[in-house]
Amino acid sequence: MIISQKQSILIVDDEKNNIDILVNLLKNDYSTLVSKSGKRAINLAKASMPDLILLDIIMPEMDGYDVCRILKSDTQTKDIPVIFVTAMCHDNDESKGLCLGAIDYITKPIRPAIVQARVKNHMERYLAIKELERINQLAFDANPSTGLPGNNSIADAITQALDNDKDVCVIHADLDYFKAFNDKYGFVRGDDIIRFTANTLKEALTVIQSHEKFIGHIGGDDFVLITPSDDCQHVANTIIQRFDQGITQFYDNIDIQQKGITSVNRAGEEQFFPLMSLSLSGVDLSRRSFTQYIEVNDVCAEVKKVAKATPGSCFFMDRRMKDS
């Protein structure tokens, strides 16, 4: 996952004073949204998908029980944790709220330390569950040869970056002359090349301190990276340097000396192929407007044609601006 931001809490209460108290308690650690009505809270929950909802029970038009019931019956919002924060303090009230699917029940008057502690505990538990779900999804989607996230995860990562308007760069990495190498040395050594490339890309990303980074394996010798826009060039330079330094270890000495191999091309004819290189093509999402991840991929594919036509390992960026 590449997006790093404060977790969000939706506070639902018809009393402004209660909202103000909760917002002041939580605003330093969380992003807060507020609603004074149950109906608006339901719409806001669907639109913003908060990480946690603090919900009053006694409200005009629609009480908190009905709000919780509707949220828990909707597949879009059913997994959002709900904590009731209410003046209703009888056991039956609490039991009803918990039976509707709430994870906790806090009684008023609001006790700051208790609210903060319970919110923190439930938020950590919720995020841990989400992280386990993410890891399971990555394992299901992972490329078998490298263990890296596959196409579904790549699409999700780019889409998430677009939806959150992140200043990141998407880079496609593609090996040059990989087929010729495979034809001569065999698939076992070819798989070693794929793993070497994956490790080279992963190691290059370790220089970035930001959480805005991602690496995925499309398949074969094609990879995708996401980096902060400011780090894009540095990461690309690091990748090229490390790849070029390490690739020769997979060749026989005679091929290293002659700086290439003789193999069979797609027409079935013998041809001399240089040592493998790496073509990197990138697009900066902060420079252009995209609505779908496939549009980003299409631009990277355009730029990759230029990179592939250039001898040796190289990095080319799309330089068009948003108004182009």
The domains of the chain, with CATH numbers, are: 8-134 (3.40.50.2300), 145-318 (3.30.70.270)
Q: Is the pLDDT of residue 113 over 60?
A: yes
Whether the CB-CB separation of 62 and 39 falls below 8 Å is answered with: yes
The residue-averaged pLDDT of 284-294 equals 89
Q: Is the pLDDT of residue 1 over 70?
A: no
Secondary structure of the chain: what % helix, strand, coil (to 5)?
Answer: 50, 20, 30
Residue pLDDT, tens place only, 117-164: 999 999 999 888 888 877 776 667 788 889 899 998 999 999 999 988
Give Dmax (Cα) for the chain: 85
What tokens does 106 get? 């806090």
Whether the CB-CB separation of 116 and 25 falls below 8 Å is answered with: yes
> Of the given ranges (3-17, 66-80, 166-180, 244-258), which has the lowest mean pLDDT?
3-17
Q: Residue 139: its pLDDT value, please?
A: 62
Q: Please indicate, yes or no, whether the overall pTM of this predicted structure exceeds 0.85.
A: no
The residue-averaged pLDDT of 215-241 equals 95
- Cα–Cα distance for residue pair 44/29, rounded to 1 Å: 20
Sign, Cα dihedral of 301, 306, 309, 315: negative
Q: Is the pLDDT of residue 105 over 60?
A: yes
- Cα–Cα distance for residue pair 147/151, rounded to 1 Å: 12
The pLDDT > 90 percentage for the chain reads: 77
Q: Is the pLDDT of residue 210 over 90?
A: no
CA atoms within 13 A on the CB side of 41: 33
